[in-house]
Amino acid sequence: MKTNELLLAYLKETELFNSEELSLLTEEVKENTVKEVINMIVKSLEEKITVIDTTPVNRSKGDIRNIKEIDSIVKAISNLEYLVEKATSTVTPELKGYITQIKQSIFNLRDHSTDFKEAYRDRKTLMILKYQSIVLSIFSSVAYLISVMIDFSEDDVEIISKPHYEEIAPIRTLIDFNRSIEMGEYKKSVKSVLEMEQFLTKADNDDVLLEASDIITTVLTGIKSFYKDVDNNVNLTSFLYKAAGVVTLVMSLREIFYTLYRARTKFSEVISSIDSFASISNANSGILSRLNQFASKFKIDSEESTRIARREIEAEDKSVGAFVKSSIGLKAAEPSVVEYPEFDF
């Protein structure tokens, strides 16, 4: 899909424009709108990424096989599949499909590890963020399915009959990632990111990143440098209008990072619970009790933070719509205010 088609589809999805209004958009307005969307998302990511714990992810330097907890993830998935197989109640095809999507994401990250290792080595900020988003989504999705599907209230752990669940942002992120690889969109994004390098300001960095904390700082520096380039480099703006792969990549980061920013559960808690579930055959009553408490909390947290993130995205989209309408002389709707309710576990 070309950027022009992507932009028109995006504006149409916001339901703020009809076909006649979209026909009024000039190439200049479209190009400026792409710039507005990119800047809006990237600047918001700069704020949110500072409070999200990516250190365990960054230690792997782009290779999921180097994730310290990867064995626990694989074992936890295996335990889920085993419990699904022996369940007396029927597990919906959708839930089974989510497990398949998680496994496929792991395979896809492994198969494209060269791209992500190069991203860490060469400070390709957007690709580092993409890798972070997928790995964090894998952990969060596994923890969510454990929380939704498993009954820890009895000594004999089993599948919950007819569990309530939602397609939370991490699961949606994995589904979209797998589809992007299947449809060839991921390759286009990688190609566009490489081509974009010629328009970016080069940061003065050492050749090797030794600590995960250095990576966090480098990503934040890269984000700030990127949106400054978007603001000031006309050639980059023109390139972004032609490079649908970059636009698609940036937009794919939005929902997952906005959701994780709103989440109350620490990533260390997610990791700990997955570790415990991976060793469920040896669990005592104390571990089962902690898993039960985590499951009750994490299910609510995952679903509520996803809803808040989606409302924030809707508000941002309306802001973009107002920008476009003002650019073509149409009256924009009043900007909406997103409320972020307090919720208890």
Q: Is a pLDDT exceeding 90 seen at residue 334? A: no
- Residue 206 has a pLDDT of 52
Q: Report the number of distinct structural domains present in the chain.
A: 1
Residue 169 lies in a domain: yes
- Residue 48 has a pLDDT of 93
Residue 23 to residue 189: CA distance in whole angstroms: 27
Residue 181 lies in a domain: yes
Residue 103 lies in a domain: yes
Burial 316-337 (b: 16+ CB within 10 A, else e): bbbbbbbbbbebeeeeeeeeee
Residue 91 to residue 142: CA distance in whole angstroms: 16
Reduced to 3 states, what is the DSSP secondary structure of residue 280? helix
All residues at 6 or more sequence positions from 44 whose CB lies less than 8 Å from its CB, including other chains = 254, 258, 316
The mean pLDDT value for 19-33 works out to 84
- The answer to whether 229 and 195 are in contact (CB under 8 A) is no
- Residue 342 has a pLDDT of 57
Q: Tell me the CA distances in angstroms from 81 to 76, 150, 168, 332, one per residue in order.
A: 9, 11, 20, 50
Residue 222 lies in a domain: yes
For the chain, helix, strand, coil in percent to 5 are 75, 0, 25
Reduced to 3 states, what is the DSSP secondary structure of residue 201? coil
Residue 322 lies in a domain: no
Residue 345 lies in a domain: no
Q: Is a pLDDT exceeding 70 seen at residue 213? A: no
Q: What is the dihedral of CA 165, 155, 77, 91, to 10 degrees?
A: -40
Range of the domain at 148: 53-233+245-302
Closest alpha carbon to 27 in 10, 11, 4: 4
Strand partners, 158: 151
Q: Is a pLDDT exceeding 70 seen at residue 182? A: yes
For residue 235, the tally of other CB atoms under 10 A from its CB is 10
- Residue 227 has a pLDDT of 86
Residue 291 to residue 10: CA distance in whole angstroms: 40
Residue 84 to residue 245: CA distance in whole angstroms: 38
| pLDDT, tens digit, 9 for 90 and up, residues 66-121 | 999 999 999 999 999 999 998 867 789 999 999 999 999 999 999 999 999 999 99
Q: Is a pLDDT exceeding 80 seen at residue 341? A: no
Strand partners, 150: 159
| pLDDT, tens digit, 9 for 90 and up, residues 112-155 | 999 999 999 988 999 999 999 999 999 999 999 999 999 998 77
Closest alpha carbon to 160 in 173, 151, 147, 170: 151
Lowest mean pLDDT among 58-67, 94-103, 206-215, 279-288: 206-215
Reduced to 3 states, what is the DSSP secondary structure of residue 35? helix
pTM of the model: 0.91
- Residue 303 has a pLDDT of 98
Residue 199 lies in a domain: yes
Q: Is a pLDDT exceeding 50 seen at residue 210? A: no
Residue 18 lies in a domain: no
